[in-house]
Structure 1
Amino acid sequence: MSGVSGVSDEAAEQRDLGAQLMASEARLRNIVERSPDAFVIVDGQGTVQFVNAAAVRMFGVSESDLIGQPFGFPVIGGEITEIDIVHAHGEALIAEMRVLDTEWDGKTAHVAVLRDITERNRAELALRASELRLNFAMAVAGLGYWDVDLHTGGVVHNDMLFSILGYLPGEIAPCSCLELIHPDDVRRVELAQKAHWSGQTSAFSIEMRMRTKTGTWRWVHARGEVLERDRHGKPLRFVGIAEDISARKETEERIRHASQHDPLTRLPNRELLYDFSGRVLASAMRGSRQCAFLFVDLDRFKPINDTYGHDVGDAVLKEVATRLRGCVRSEDIVGRLGGDEFLVVLAHVGSEADAAGVARHILRSLTLPYPLDGLVLALSPSIGISMFPLDGNTVEDLIRNADTAMYHAKDGGRSRFQFFKAAFNERMAQSLTIESRLRSGLEHRDFALFYQPILDTATMAVVGAEALLRWPDTPWGPDLFIPVAEAAGFMSSLGEWVVQEACRQQRDWRGKGVTEFPLSVNVSPSQFRNPGFVRHVANAIRQAGIHPGNLCIELTESTLIRDVDEAVAIIRALKDMGIKIALDDFGTGYSSLSYLSRLPIDVLKLDQSFVRSITHNQSSMVIAESVIVLGNSLALEVIAEGIESREDLDFLRSHQCRHGQGFYFCRPVTAPEFETWCQTRSPDPGPTRSGPRGA
């Protein structure tokens, strides 16, 4: 009986194993049937023995139509290949096929696992096409790019990265990039890169000089960004683009040079004079040396202009500039302050006697006859002299004191020089008088706004107006009382009133049916930096109930360059309200191009000093053209100031300067006069001659 029992137990175990095997096969078949991948079992003769549901879907035919048919694709165990499949409905598919060796009915067979990669393949092709288009676009745009794996040191780049420097593909290794940077720029590049890699800046951006294949230097603007970092913040991947900006730099340099030099005489202008003079003063302070400032003004120059015309007057000024340069040493400075006023800075003098010797030399030279176009003209200079450190420790003080001494030279009979004396206090007295009157003027609101229209140069339609501060019933123009108000701390309050009055006038005009347009107001440095400035402007707009877009804030470069980051923040706060921002007197300062790209402005105002001479002065023409092109290329509105003739207007029209203002259209007038002008003006007016010039 024990034998029978053993056989029974063995049979039970076999039944259990069989049941487990069947259950395992069922599970396996269920997994295979549910798999999104197609499973095809092929015997040794290449005949299909099994397919799952995914295979039926992939081929588009029934299971019975597949089984027993040749598979049609070579199957080799362990291989991974891509095959092309045509669905029964005609659709072309691409499948990735993995082949595994197996057994079927006790014989060698193969399992082909097929995954539909059609969409993946299309995406890869689209990506490659996109990369090709990107490479083509970057080549057309002249942009080189790089993609650096900072962990492995691997670099991916296009050919343009080095062809902008004249190298052919493969002629130079990417790792040699740093060796091509100008020695004077290497430190800046390293600091900028370090700042970005450490997370201090959101992007890497640097302009630098790089050596070309021929050994020359070209300007390159590189911009990049770290795209990947590890969990500790260490950069892993750095990508960017590089652009040849040499042409732009050359243009900027020409504009910068032109903006720093008087277009007529080619001498340094006021901005550059102050810069150079500051350096001379700093050197004199370090060396405990004396230097002298000579303020040269031409006597009776205006009658020459009035009698013989501006062409002759300009020729005289150019000759004066030439003679002045011949009277000083190479280390000294000669510049034109404006009009018939020149400044000579003697970098090193032993005593007042040395300065007097140069002044006598200038007197002798400038009093010689001026033979011009058949004329022989005569004029003489009056010269005021201030000494450092005796008469001041700043450029401003020394120029002001030399100017004061010059007026005393004129009062003493002209054609002479005069050293500054502390007793020369007339201008100071005038400033004190203005300051005292300013207090009562603010209390009694003695000030007024005059308005000058801004016109479309093509259609002559009024597109805006500038509100200009005036002080009626006093002998002082804005060029006198505004600097005093600024220095005395009144300008913030006075400027606040200007904004309120301009907004109120906008509301008044709207009530009268006057066409709405932006009204521009000038904002002084102290007003702009006042912590409550943005709030005051917002209150004025709200109280008047006008649209913020009908107010334009005009700022000068000197207002903005003191703290550019702060200026940008204030401007953005104003623009967030919808207010327009204009950069006034553009082209007269040395900082224009350096900061322009950082300032979110809407309008460039071309300074009247260039506009007034564009038809007869080549340098002014070049500057005006460059500013207009620059503004238009940056999608900024360009407004030309100081249009005084039809010739000026025609020039600006032909060079795509769309807006302008000046005496040719209308002088600054009161609000009622402005309304009358708008109602009665002719489509293309002649010049109006009344009113103060330079408004």
Structure 2
Amino acid sequence: MSRSMLRGLFTLLHICTVKDQHGEVLQFVQTFSDISAIRKAERQLLHLAYHDPLTGLGNRYLLDQNLESELARALSHKRIVAIMFIDLDGFKAINDSLGHHIGDRVIQEAAGRIVRQIRRHDEAVRLGGDEFVVMIPDVLSSGEGLLVANKILRSISAPMQIDEQKLVIGASIGVAFFPQDGQTLSDLLSAADSAMYEAKRQGKGRVCAYSSDLVENVRTRLNLEQGMHGALQRNEFVQPVIDLYESRLMGFEALIRWNHPEFGLLFPDKFISIAEDTGLIESIGSWVLDQAAAQIKKWAQPGRDDLFMAVNVSARQFRGNYFLNELKTVIQRHNILPEQIEITESMLQDFHSIRKMVLGMRELGVSVAIEDFGNGYSSLALLKYLPVSRIKIDRSFVISLPGTARDVGLFSAIMQMANSLELNVTAEGVETFDQSQILRTMGYPAVQGYFWGRPKAAEDYDEAWIKNSSVSGYFLAENK
């Protein structure tokens, strides 16, 4: 056997004695067993225990072990350690639509890109799913750590070729620093995780450094998530929509508020995004639609069958394949046609699928409005081909009135455009008599806002109020 072979050979030596009848040792028997395969299996098991089998990166156990020793070294030498929490944006959609085999390749490619942006003595681990953690010891400043995080972000965001698919994902990266953001492993990971969620909240695809304020934000979000189940189904509000020419009630917009036991009355901008992230938006939206239809059925009975109820539908709910069937079911159940379903104007980005949905609603006899028109992705060209029946002017425009001649000119142009496209128009956020007068002069037929009626619980509007407000001139007399 050659010397080179002996170097890689692991043996187990066993020695035993052979004695005579008097107990005297006659000889020794020595055996050698080749245990190289056993040692190799032990090394493989040890590697598997501390590494992710898909990417070859370290796992949480390796991170716990290495980070603890690295923090001790940094503390004694007064060094800074950067901890980055990375969550891939858009991975779930790829994994669900193209299959797990493509998803695995994306994870492997992302892991490789992360490793190529860090030094040999830095540590990158995969926590599981599409989450990674990177440890960068001996950074000179927080700025240097953020620079590395942005390099990783740019690398991950570059298009990747997986078989025949050209795919693009992003990442949200939270960064925390030892010692200022935490003294222990759990504190640092928690801080980096909080910063990552803040990056997602700000729109994803970015790097966010930890600050003490983020802890309270994350706790608040968790509190809202835990308390959301079932809580919103007791907090429906409505706001009147007024015929500006006749100063009488045209209909209502169904709104939702959350009277939270700790944070008080919360508006949708505080919790709708959480509902969308947690998947609760469909059940909440379904409940609001059903309650709105039931309420307008009740109000229409005294003879006001021309009243409508505008219902806001989230992007996620609207894009669901089940929405048209749900709308049909609600109409049949309550024997009433909600005259108006409002959709957020961001829907206009996906023109072809939205057109199909809008056509389906129009076939049911339901009219469709674009909410917050003028703020975001509104496209005048798309309005020509998208069969909506109403646009609602965003409050941010209305609040500028009476404003300058330029402001008035803008509103006049919008009204002229709407007339040419045969669209109804509602101005939102009307808060003063002067604003109402200017809008009426320019031909705006419908308004809603605090001047004409604040959002209130539906039960606060009884049949007597509905009857009185339907009389021409009612609101003009009320607001004198």
TM class, shorter-length: 0.5 to 0.7
- Contact kept, 8 Å, 2:425 with 2:446, in 1: the verdict is yes
- Give the alignment of 1:9-88 within 5 angstroms: none
Q: How far is 1:617 from its partner?
A: 4.8
- Within the candidate set 431, 441, 457, 2:221 is matched to 431
RMSD after superposition: 3.6
Change (3 A) 1:656 1:438: same
Change (3 A) 1:440 1:455: closer
Match of 2:287 in 1: 497
For 1:597, what is the secondary structure of its paired residue? Answer: helix
Q: Given the alignment of the two structures, is residue 649 of structure 1 paired with residue 436 of structure 2, yes or no?
A: yes
1:685 & 1:592 partners in 2: Cα distance?
A: 38
Q: 1:315-335 deviations in whole A, cap 9, x for unaligned?
A: xxxxxxxxxxxxxxxxxxxxx
1:399 & 1:441 partners in 2: Cα distance?
A: 26
- Contact kept, 8 Å, 2:324 with 2:357, in 1: the verdict is yes
Q: How far is 1:537 from its partner?
A: 0.6
Match of 1:467 in 2: 254
1:355 & 1:591 partners in 2: Cα distance?
A: 39
- Contact kept, 8 Å, 1:665 with 1:686, in 2: the verdict is no
- Contact kept, 8 Å, 1:665 with 1:685, in 2: the verdict is no
For 2:461, what is the secondary structure of its paired residue? Answer: helix
Q: How far is 1:352 from its partner?
A: 5.6
- Within the candidate set 252, 267, 270, 1:477 is matched to 267
- Within the candidate set 415, 418, 433, 1:631 is matched to 418
Match of 2:476 in 1: 684
Q: Which runs of 5+ in 1 are unaligned?
A: 1-284, 290-349, 357-386, 406-418, 689-695
The one-letter code matched in structure 1 to 2:370 is: L
- Contact kept, 8 Å, 1:451 with 1:674, in 2: the verdict is no
- The alignment's TM-score, normalised by the length of structure 1, stands at 0.38
- Within the candidate set 396, 406, 413, 1:609 is matched to 396
Match of 2:361 in 1: 574
Q: Given the alignment of the two structures, is residue 599 of structure 1 paired with residue 386 of structure 2, yes or no?
A: yes
Q: How far is 1:499 from its partner?
A: 1.0
For 1:424, what is the secondary structure of its paired residue? Answer: helix
Q: How far is 1:470 from its partner?
A: 2.2
Q: More relative contact order in 1 or in 2 (CA 8 Å, sep 6+)?
A: 2
Q: How far is 1:439 from its partner?
A: 1.6
Higher radius of gyration, 1 or 2: 1
- Within the candidate set 435, 451, 456, 1:669 is matched to 456
- Give the alignment of 1:328-407 within 5 angstroms: 390=175, 397=200, 399=202
Match of 1:511 in 2: 301
- Contact kept, 8 Å, 2:238 with 2:458, in 1: the verdict is yes
Q: 1:493-518 deviations in whole A, cap 9, x for unaligned?
A: 11111111111112212334445312
- Contact kept, 8 Å, 2:174 with 2:199, in 1: the verdict is no
Q: Which runs of 5+ in 2 are unaligned?
A: 1-112, 118-139, 147-171, 176-191
Match of 1:533 in 2: 323
The one-letter code matched in structure 2 to 1:559 is: M
- Contact kept, 8 Å, 1:447 with 1:469, in 2: the verdict is no
Count of residue pairs brought into register by the alignment: 292
Q: How far is 1:632 from its partner?
A: 1.5
Q: How far is 1:480 from its partner?
A: 1.2
For 2:385, what is the secondary structure of its paired residue? Answer: coil
Q: How far is 1:487 from its partner?
A: 1.6
Q: Given the alignment of the two structures, is residue 486 of structure 1 paired with residue 259 of structure 2, yes or no?
A: no
1:595 & 1:355 partners in 2: Cα distance?
A: 45
Match of 1:455 in 2: 242
- Contact kept, 8 Å, 2:239 with 2:456, in 1: the verdict is yes
The one-letter code matched in structure 1 to 2:428 is: E
Q: Given the alignment of the two structures, is residue 586 of structure 1 paired with residue 389 of structure 2, yes or no?
A: no
Q: Percent identity?
A: 29
2:431 & 2:477 partners in 1: Cα distance?
A: 11
Q: 1:78-109 deviations in whole A, cap 9, x for unaligned?
A: xxxxxxxxxxxxxxxxxxxxxxxxxxxxxxxx
Q: How far is 1:570 from its partner?
A: 0.8
Change (3 A) 1:352 1:481: same
The one-letter code matched in structure 2 to 1:610 is: F
1:567 & 1:650 partners in 2: Cα distance?
A: 35
2:244 & 2:386 partners in 1: Cα distance?
A: 26
Q: How far is 1:351 from its partner?
A: 7.5
2:222 & 2:216 partners in 1: Cα distance?
A: 10
- Within the candidate set 336, 341, 356, 1:553 is matched to 341
The one-letter code matched in structure 1 to 2:291 is: E
Q: How far is 1:557 from its partner?
A: 1.6
For 2:245, what is the secondary structure of its paired residue? Answer: coil
For 1:463, what is the secondary structure of its paired residue? Answer: strand
- Contact kept, 8 Å, 1:615 with 1:648, in 2: the verdict is yes
Q: How far is 1:644 from its partner?
A: 0.6
Change (3 A) 1:652 1:509: same
Match of 1:71 in 2: none
- Contact kept, 8 Å, 1:610 with 1:623, in 2: the verdict is no
1:671 & 1:394 partners in 2: Cα distance?
A: 36
1:638 & 1:355 partners in 2: Cα distance?
A: 51
2:256 & 2:217 partners in 1: Cα distance?
A: 22
Q: How far is 1:429 from its partner?
A: 1.6
1:685 & 1:420 partners in 2: Cα distance?
A: 55
1:435 & 1:516 partners in 2: Cα distance?
A: 39
1:568 & 1:618 partners in 2: Cα distance?
A: 36
The one-letter code matched in structure 2 to 1:511 is: Q
Change (3 A) 1:654 1:440: closer
Q: How far is 1:422 from its partner?
A: 7.6
Change (3 A) 1:658 1:539: same
Q: How far is 1:611 from its partner?
A: 0.5
- Contact kept, 8 Å, 1:611 with 1:620, in 2: the verdict is no
Change (3 A) 1:687 1:449: farther
2:359 & 2:214 partners in 1: Cα distance?
A: 46
